[in-house]
Structure 1
Amino acid sequence: MIFVPKTPKYIAPKTSIGVVGLGCIGGSVASAFSKTQQYNIIGVDKDNDTLRYAFEKDIIQLGHSELEILKGCEVVFVCTPIDTVSPIINQLFRILGTSAIITDVASIKGAILDNLPEGVRFVGGHPMAGSEQGGIKAAKDHMFENAYYVITPCPNTSKEDLDYIIELVKQMQALPVIVDKKTHDITVAKISHLPHMVAYAMVNTCIDNDISKTLAAGGFRDITRIASSPSKMWLDIVALNKDNILAQLDNMIKSLSQLSHNLKNDQYDKLKEMFESARQKRDSIEKDKGGFFSLRIDVKDVPGIIAKITLLLYKKKINIKNINIENSREGEGGALVVSFENSRALETAKEIFKKKKFDIKTE
């Protein structure tokens, strides 16, 4: 089935961007570009309901189940499950040749770049954003806003193609970072793949059919949230980045063994060193990123409280960069964390909330 616009006014004048796979990430890519109204977005997906939804919501302007519809696109984003990315790149190259740049969003780069067809115009990509929820209905046009977007060029990638992809990433409001494939795969094994493995292990170890499920509060839920990610997707990821993940699991096991040894032998000074080292490293993450400035606000769980807080900030023209609701007060004095882009906005917000008698704490 093909989905086409009711009128031809969107077609000829604009550059066409293809998106293969309209799930959460692919749908978000399409939504971000469609929102700019600068491009014709052509979507390819095997599921007609997905294509219909994307078309009706103006996420795409043209849709089809076959890759041939992408002839004429200047760039094509491959946003399918990671085990299908390489075969689809090969199919696209047979259809498009060198007429289009092909890029992807896969969370592993080595396995993709090492199996490219000779002569393809390819620039690897990996947006460091997403959701535990899958499908087109989880897509957001602001999914990548202020998120790092890793770009991994090939040795033969031209400067023009690289610059073009960088510009498109910026148009999605993401922050482009150029990283080679080896560094990328080791790094994501540390900061993404290992945490998923730990989350799976923690949930299976700690949650039984007892009161632990009821009492599992903010800290536990924050650490294990990613265990709700799709199982099939993560099986494919661990298979393709196996060696790097195993290396990080070995490091984690050594660290846990050292912690266990110190605790068994009442070596609390060494435990304190471990805790303090972790605290300092964790605190340095936001500082190194030039991160947001945050307030933790203690609020009652009543209807309208978030609206009240955001309205107070709106009246003073203060932009909220991020807001996080904490359902549990475990270990913290606040239940709402509001982040701002600079210290001036933070100080103004503090004064506003102090005048309104809110209990606040600076992050």
Structure 2
Amino acid sequence: MLGRVAVVGTGLIGASAGLAARRAGAGRVSGWDPDGDVLRVAAERGAVEAAGTLAEAVAGADLVVVAAPVAELPATVRGVLDAASQGCAVTDVGSTKSAVCAAAGGDGRFIGGHPICGAETRGPERASAELFEGATWFLTPAAGTGPGLLRRVHGFVTALGARPVAIDPDAHDRLVALTSHLPHVLANVLLNQAGASRIDGHDPLQAAGGSLRDMTRVAGANPRIWVDIFLDNREALAAALGDQRRRLEQVEAALAAGDAGFLARWIAEAAGNRRRLLATAYDDPGALQRLRVHLPDRPGVLAGIFQALGAERINVEDFEMEHLSTDRGGTLTILVAGEREAGRAANLLEAQGYGVVVAPVIDE
């Protein structure tokens, strides 16, 4: 039994936490947000019971989830700790941890948290109880955190469908600087570089292929969120950028020297690391085959393809769609495990009139 839960900040993440807590059997989920419209929508969605004040929301709560913007987290968490009872556990969902943990001042009731479940949207109207399913949820307990409070937060995270992982706040910030914040920076750099360039009168963005699209998917993310994240984690992010710069300089030096050996080792190292990355999602990354299928832009095409594959019991491990234009249609990429299954899928789709290109996901 989750007991009574309070959510402070009822945007996308907070409202999703409220919906997930209700689904998991929380006795009551109260909520408060400084934006009355946001709170009203969250309440209308059934995520929370709206409270008039922060103090009213946390009164009698067994656990409080603080889902305020990163820049507001330290002050909001401090305010919640002042208002909450001594037996209440307090956690947050911020993507940086050092500043908010410092603001808690070692209060054992606060256990910092960060669910890795980003969504490229915002607002309680898009909240979902399934948002945290299968997600890693970092927890940063203080030295004075009692085992009972830690178990309560751990149980809450697990009940929402996530996987709790304990980590030091500073280590957390260095980790996400490398795995999340640096990719956002580099995506912006790549897209701005291409957007500011002209090659003999040609616009690179109009000639871009899948590589640029894939590497810049997160570019231009909401500045209201990401400016605060970049600044809050500036030291760890600057260190990651410095390491990135040194690695780029190594590639520059290899190109200047015509060092094919370095470049071959460098690419092979990346292939091995990509295999390790894919191993977190697939049982055997080396068996994955990629099928690229050109599709016309008309209703029912995707449904027909997946129905045909399903009828032949060909399992699709993953897929993505790249739309080119209304006239040119798009490219469907399907991942299938095993050369034999990929061949069956290709033959089936080619028999239906589609052009299919098959290649291994990892080129040995």
Shorter-chain TM-score range: 0.7 to 0.9
Look up the match of 1:239.
231
The 1:250/1:334 distance shift into structure 2, 3 A limit, reads: same
Q: How has the CA–CA distance of structure 1 residues 61 and 325 changed in structure 2, closer, same or farther, with 3 Å as cutoff? A: farther
CA contact (8 A) 2:95 2:114 kept: yes
Q: Matches of 2:276 and 2:230 in 1, distance apart?
A: 28
Judge conservation of contact 1:124–1:153 (CA < 8 Å) in 2.
yes
Q: What is the aligned partner in structure 2 of residue 113 from structure 1?
A: 101
Tell me which amino acid in the other structure corresponds to 2:267: F
Q: 1:284 deviation in Å? A: 1.3
Amino acid at match of 1:43: G
Tell me whether 1:335 sits opposite 2:332 in the alignment. Answer: yes
Q: Which residue of 1 aligns with 2:84?
A: 96
Which residue is 2:220 aligned to?
228
Partner SS state of residue 191, structure 1: helix
Distance 1:297 1:305, change over 3 A: farther
Change (3 A) 1:218 1:25: farther
Q: 1:141 pairs with 106, 129, 146, which one? A: 129
Letter in 1 for 2:292: D
Count of aligned pairs between the two proteins: 343
Contact 1:127 1:149 (8 Å CA) reproduced: yes
Aligned residue among 136, 151, 163 for 1:163: 151
5+ unaligned residues in a row in structure 2: which ranges?
Answer: 325-329, 351-355
Residue 137 to residue 219, structure 1, CA distance change in 2 (3 Å)? farther
Instruction: Please report how far the alpha carbon of residue 104 of structure 1 lies from its aligned counterpart in structure 2 after TM superposition.
Output: 0.6
Which whole-Å CA distance do the structure 2 matches of 1:362 and 1:60 have between them? Answer: 47
Amino acid aligned to 2:304? K
1:311 and 1:154, CA in 2 relative to 1: closer, same or farther beyond 3 A?
farther
CA contact (8 A) 2:40 2:50 kept: no
| 2:256 aligned with 1:268 | no
| Partner Cα separation in structure 1 for residue 209 and residue 133 of structure 2 | 29
Residue identity over aligned pairs, in percent, reads 27
Which residue pairs with 2:62 in the alignment?
74
1:207 matched to 2:195? The reply is yes
Report the CA distance shift for 1:316/1:143 in structure 2 as closer, same or farther (over 3 A). farther
User: C-alpha distance in 2, partners of 1:45/1:316?
Assistant: 51
Superposition TM-score, scaled by structure 2 size? 0.82
**Pairs within 5 Å for 1:189-338:** 189-208=177-196, 211-287=203-279, 296-299=290-293, 300-301=295-296, 302-311=298-307, 323-327=319-323, 335-337=332-334
1:152 to partner: Cα distance: 1.3
Letter in 2 for 1:247: A
In 2, Cα distance between the equivalents of 1:321 and 1:175? 22
Farther-moved stretch of structure 1 (299-308 vs 279-288) = 299-308
Answering whether residue 49 of structure 2 is matched by residue 49 of structure 1, we say: no
Matched-pair contact (CA < 8 Å) for 2:75–2:103? no
Q: Deviations over 1:226-269 (max 9, x none)?
A: 22222232222222222211111111011111111111222222
The equivalent residue for 2:4 is 16
Cα deviation, 1:135-157, whole Å, max 9, x if unaligned, reads: 22332222222221111111111
Query: In structure 2, what is the Cα distance between the partners aligned to 1:39 and 1:314?
Result: 42
Give the partner amino acid of 2:229.
Answer: I
In structure 1, the partner of 2:46 is 58
Shift of 1:338: 5.4
Shift of 1:44: 1.3
Report the CA distance between 1:347 and its aligned residue.
Answer: 9.8
The answer to whether the Cα contact below 8 Å between 2:78 and 2:103 also exists between their aligned partners in 1 is: no
Post-superposition offset of 1:309: 4.5
Distance 2:213 2:224 in 1: 22
Partners in 1 of 2:50 and 2:312 — Cα distance? 42
Shift of the alpha carbon at 1:91? 1.0
Contact kept in structure 1, 2:316 and 2:334, CA below 8 Å: no
Q: Give the match for residue 83 of structure 1.
A: 71
Letter in 1 for 2:134: N
Q: Give the letter aligned to residue 303 of structure 1.
A: P
What residue identity is the alignment partner of 2:333? Answer: L
Q: Is 2:187–2:216's contact at 8 Å kept on the other side of the alignment?
A: yes
Cα distance change of structure 1 residues 201 and 350 upon mapping to structure 2, 3 Å threshold? closer
Query: With structure 1 as the length reference, what TM-score do the two structures score?
Result: 0.82
* 1:43–1:272 distance in 2 versus 1, CA, 3 Å: same
The 2-side partners of 1:266 and 1:159 are apart by 58
CA drift of 1:317 comes to 9.2
Cα distance change on mapping 1:334 and 1:55 into 2, 3 Å: same
- SS of 1:114 mapped into structure 2: helix
User: Residues 28 and 261 of structure 1: is their aligned pair in 2 closer, same or farther, counting only changes over 3 Å?
Assistant: same
- Structure 1: runs of 5 or more not aligned: 1-12
Contact 1:15 1:74 in 2 (8 A): yes
Give me the whole-angstrom Cα distance separating, in 2, the residues matched to 1:284 and 1:103.
Answer: 31
2:212 counterpart letter in structure 1: F
CA distance in 2, matches of 1:39, 1:350: 49
